[in-house]
């Protein structure tokens, strides 16, 4: 049985500044045209259902029905403009329930993928966005222009709090800006959250004294929402500066709650589990959409993919999140950052590249992503033949060479730490850490 049509297709319609616009990839179900399937999508995501209903008043239909204003049969894409009154402006979960909810279960579509979302001012105004964003983080570290570099403590889990802190200290002392917990390290019986926090912040203080540089400890607070908020407050109370949340496994309401707590901490967004939803090019939701909502919710720095690493994700897909400008040759510091596009009062979000990176690909990464990025290497630091501190130094040297526009192989001739890293991993992308 088909969906009742309210003439959702209106190819002459032009979205207003107060419309929320979605672009979908859509493969129609058996016996349906693209336009017919798109009408089912528009109906299910808004005011319609499978049959005509007496409770839907004509005035309500005229005001709130979405408009399918573009259909690309060759690309199998449709664009739908939704009246902003269909959404609770301050609730990301409600917005997702509409534009990415029941629609994925419709028989009218064999495959469906939410490709992009454009948010109207009425919705943007309802959110604070990042408390610090790119400018606040740069001010905190006193680093005005260059990319930031960091690492993830390895192994992911298994270290005691004391061992974890020692690894972090070696990385900071070697020249890295930030050290983070991994996505599945929270509060384990062998590494309690409170113990790890205290020990690692002590290590951070020592590294700052020795290097004269400010450092960031990205401490994973992911948990049940009230426990997560308690952990974030502990970080603040003990002088920490950053809390990490696994944004998808924790959920959008949890992300919003963490931002609303107004701790003043950097909010670091990890995208664990995203590929279960984003990886299929014909079905699911693009990482671009997750990235936009993460910024809206208040994430200051967000994992978006590495291009030259172990994780799936094409260069084009990552750069879609990173840059609006792709068709001309430009310098890295001139690029326009999609996570920093003009959104009223909302600050820009740092893009994080992570997953299988090492010093030998840092120059390529920075050239592709520009200076407003955070480059994180786990195995590419700790796997250095001389250990974590030397691996961190190699990363810093690779960054120095890149910023001076000196080829890595040339810079390595007078920098033995980088030289060893290039001997180990070369200058090509790796398939894993």
> For the segment 207-247, what is each residue's pLDDT rounded down to a tens digit?
999 999 999 999 999 999 999 999 999 999 999 999 999 99
Question: What CATH number is attached to the domain comprising 399?
Answer: 3.20.20.110
What is the rounded CA–CA span in Å between residue 403 and residue 401?
A: 6
Pairing of strands 67-72, 266-270: unpaired
Average of pLDDT values for 311-328?
46
Task: Report the chain's mean pLDDT, rounded to a whole number.
Answer: 91
| One domain for residues 263 and 198 | yes
Asked whether residue 6 is assigned to any structural domain, the reply reads: no
Domain boundary pick from 76, 98, 124: 124
Residues 6+ apart with CB under 8 A from 123: 20, 84, 87, 89, 95, 296
Q: What is the pLDDT of residues 167-200, one digit of tens each?
A: 999 999 999 999 999 999 999 999 999 999 999 9
Domain boundary pick from 97, 124, 151: 124
| One domain for residues 107 and 69 | yes
| One domain for residues 107 and 230 | no
Asked whether residue 12 is assigned to any structural domain, the reply reads: no
**Strand arrangement, sheet containing 284-285:** 67-72, 77-83, 19-28, 109-118, 284-285
Residues 6+ apart with CB under 8 A from 210: 173
Question: What CATH number is attached to the domain comprising 95?
Answer: 3.30.70.150
Residue 311: per-residue pLDDT: 52
Split at pLDDT 50, 70, 90, the class of 321 is low
Residue 371: per-residue pLDDT: 93
| One domain for residues 145 and 99 | no
Q: From the candidates 65, 79, 164, 270, which is the catalytic residue?
A: 270
| Residue 270 known to be catalytic | yes
Average of pLDDT values for 3-29?
92
Asked whether residue 433 is assigned to any structural domain, the reply reads: no
Give me the domain span that covers residue 28.
Answer: 19-124
| One domain for residues 64 and 159 | no
Q: What is the pLDDT of residues 372-414, one digit of tens each?
A: 999 999 999 999 999 999 999 999 999 999 999 999 999 999 9
Q: In a 10 Å sphere around its CB, with 0-12 CB exposed, 13-18 middle and 19+ buried, how is residue 67 labelled?
A: buried
| One domain for residues 211 and 154 | yes
What is the rounded CA–CA span in Å between residue 310 and residue 306?
A: 8
Question: Cis peptide leading into 182, omega within 30 of 0?
Answer: no
| One domain for residues 223 and 336 | yes
Q: Is the pLDDT of residue 314 over 60?
A: no
| One domain for residues 119 and 188 | no
| One domain for residues 248 and 117 | no
Q: What is the pLDDT of residues 359-376, one digit of tens each?
A: 999 999 999 888 999 999
| One domain for residues 207 and 75 | no
Asked whether residue 14 is assigned to any structural domain, the reply reads: no
Asked whether residue 10 is assigned to any structural domain, the reply reads: no
Domain boundary pick from 124, 141, 171: 124
* Number of domains making up the chain: 2
Asked whether residue 405 is assigned to any structural domain, the reply reads: yes
What pTM value is reported for the model? 0.91
Q: From the candidates 128, 154, 214, 386, which is the catalytic residue?
A: 154
Asked whether residue 352 is assigned to any structural domain, the reply reads: yes
Q: What percent of the chain clears pLDDT 70, i.e. is strictly above it?
A: 91
| One domain for residues 198 and 137 | yes
| One domain for residues 154 and 208 | yes
Asked whether residue 392 is assigned to any structural domain, the reply reads: yes
């Amino acid at each position: 049985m088909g969906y009742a049509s309210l003439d959702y297709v209106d190819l002459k319609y032009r979205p207003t500044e107060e419309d929320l616009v979605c672009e979908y990839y859509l493969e129609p179900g058996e016996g349906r045209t693209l336009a017919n399937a798109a009408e089912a999508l528009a109906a299910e995501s808004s005011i319609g259902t499978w049959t005509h209903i007496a409770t839907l008043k004509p005035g309500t239909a005229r005001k709130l029905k979405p408009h399918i204003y573009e259909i690309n049969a060759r690309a199998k894409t449709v664009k739908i403009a939704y009246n902003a009154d269909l959404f609770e402006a301050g609730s990301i979960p409600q917005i997702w329930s509409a534009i990415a909810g029941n629609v994925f279960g419709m028989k009218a579509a064999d495959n469906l993928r939410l490709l992009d979302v454009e948010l109207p001012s009425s919705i943007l105004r309802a959110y604070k966005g990042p408390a610090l964003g790119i400018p606040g983080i740069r001010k905190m570290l006193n680093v005005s222009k260059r990319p930031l570099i960091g690492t993830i403590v390895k192994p992911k889990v298994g270290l005691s709090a004391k061992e974890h802190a020692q690894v972090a200290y070696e990385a900071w002392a070697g020249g890295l800006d930030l050290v983070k917990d991994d996505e599945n390290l929270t509060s384990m019986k062998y590494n309690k959250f409170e113990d790890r926090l205290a020990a690692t912040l002590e290590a951070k203080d020592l590294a700052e004294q020795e290097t004269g540089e400010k450092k960031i400890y990205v401490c994973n607070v992911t948990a049940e929402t009230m426990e997560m908020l308690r952990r974030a407050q502990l970080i603040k109370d003990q002088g920490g500066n950053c809390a990490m949340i696994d944004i998808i496994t924790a959920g959008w309401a949890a992300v919003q709650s963490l931002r609303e707590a107004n701790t003043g901490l950097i909010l670091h967004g990890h995208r664990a589990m995203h590929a279960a939803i984003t990886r299929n090019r014909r079905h699911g939701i693009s990482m671009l959409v997750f990235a936009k909502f993460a910024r809206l919710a208040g994430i200051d720095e967000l994992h978006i993919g590495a291009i030259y690493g172990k994780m799936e994700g094409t260069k084009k897909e990552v750069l879609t999140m990173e840059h609006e400008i792709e068709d001309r040759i430009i310098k890295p510091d001139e690029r326009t950052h999609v996570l920093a596009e003009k959104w009223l009062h909302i600050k820009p979000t740092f893009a994080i590249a992570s997953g299988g990176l090492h010093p030998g690909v840092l120059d390529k990464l920075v050239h592709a992503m520009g200076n407003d990025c955070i480059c994180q290497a786990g195995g590419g630091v700790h796997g250095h033949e001389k250990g974590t501190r030397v691996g961190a130094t190699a990363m810093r040297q690779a960054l120095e060479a890149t910023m001076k526009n000196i080829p890595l192989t040339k810079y390595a001739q007078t920098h033995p730490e980088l030289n060893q890293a290039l001997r180990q991993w070369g200058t090509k992308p790796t398939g894993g850490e």
